[in-house]
Chains A and B, each alone.
Chain A
């Protein structure tokens, strides 16, 4: 095996391991918001490493550009989707208050609601 193949293999293994860990995290974490952490961080890096491995092992610049696009769009969309899921969960009461040390968003939302209803 050449050096490039070794590096590509290492990228694949690490990337897949991180994706697996993300899946385990989603299974094990106690509530929605903690699960979103697993869905954004190890998952994104896992994808980046897998794409790097793929680019190295194929070694064609035509494909490499597409893989870079995949990574760019993952970086742009993962936080947005995590935010939307978290926000929706928050507003529909899917967040476990007992796991939160401090919850300043609920404080502010309740204050805003109190301001809206007169009296």
Chain B
């Protein structure tokens, strides 16, 4: 028999589905919220999905850095591709590189891959879940600062995702300095 869906452990998904429902109707009324919650629960029971298993710890400064840098990157990416689309002459030299990520969480891998596809110069061609490896198509090797530059860029995105969402243990496991030290260093830079 299929594993029973425990609804109370799935409340974030139901809240998200209810929020989508309310947004689609466009106004926040009690009836809409209740209908959204009921429909959300119904969807979870009728169409059960495997658990992603998020046990991270969201960290607000990390999330702010991630989101702001992401939007800057999206704009830069569009400008870059637009320039290349309209430019005359040679096509840029491309490459497919392997990037071994430091975290082992499925969710962090997914988010990193999604963000990589939207920022300048990279698209994920293949993701290998067990070894935590992404295969990234680099649009223009010279623009990205060579193969190593492109690899460093993908790892930098992963670093931001880790600081935004991972637990302290995962940060330590990935070989990154703990968050507290990150803050202290930044405040030292400001005061200096």
Partners in one complex: yes
Contact B125 A86 (CB under 8 A): yes
Bin chain A's interface residue count: 35 or more
A78 to B113, CA, bound (A): 12
Smallest CB separation, B186 vs chain A (Å):
28
A32 to B149, CA, bound (A): 23
- Give the chain A neighbours of B95 by CB distance below 8 A: 100-103
Nearest CB in chain A to that of B133: its residue: A108
Asked if B137 lies at the interface with its beta carbon under 8 angstroms from chain A, I say: yes
Known: A37-B123, A63-B26, A79-B124. A44 touches B118 (CB 8 A): yes
Do residues B126 and A87 form an inter-chain contact, with CB atoms below 8 A?
yes
Proximity bits, A66-94, B CB within 8 Å = 1, else 0: 10110000011011101100110010000
Interface residue total, chain B, C-beta cutoff 8 A? 41
Q: Which of A30, A36, A65, A75 contacts B91 (CB 8 A)?
A: A30
Docked Cα-Cα span, A61 to B124, in Å, equals 36
Which residue on chain A has the smallest CB distance to residue B80?
A: A41
Flag the segment in B38-46, B54-62, B71-79, B173-181 that touches A.
Answer: B71-79
Q: In the complex the two chains form, is B117's CB within 8 Å of A102's CB?
A: no
A78 touches B118 (CB 8 A): yes
Which of chain B's residues have a CB closer than 8 A to the CB of A2? none
Residues of B within 8 A of A66 (CB): 23-24, 26
- The answer to whether A79 and B118 touch across the interface, beta carbons within 8 angstroms, is yes
B85 is an interface residue with CB less than 8 A from chain A: yes
Chain A contact residues, CB within 8 Å of chain B: 18, 21-22, 24-25, 28-31, 33-34, 36-38, 40-42, 44-46, 61-63, 65-66, 68-69, 75-76, 78-80, 82-83, 86-87, 90, 99-106, 108
Q: Which residues does B use to contact A, with CB under 8 Å? A: 20, 23-24, 26-27, 74-75, 77-78, 80-82, 84-86, 91-98, 113-118, 120-121, 123-127, 135, 137, 139, 141, 147
Given contacts A29-B85, A45-B77, A104-B97, could you give 19 more A-B pairs where the C-beta distance is less than 8 Å? A29-B84, A34-B91, A36-B123, A37-B137, A38-B81, A44-B118, A63-B26, A68-B23, A75-B118, A79-B123, A82-B123, A83-B124, A86-B123, A86-B124, A100-B96, A101-B141, A102-B96, A105-B98, A108-B98
* Cross-chain pairs A/B with CB under 8 angstroms, 9 sampled: A34-B94, A41-B77, A41-B118, A42-B85, A69-B24, A79-B114, A79-B124, A82-B123, A108-B98
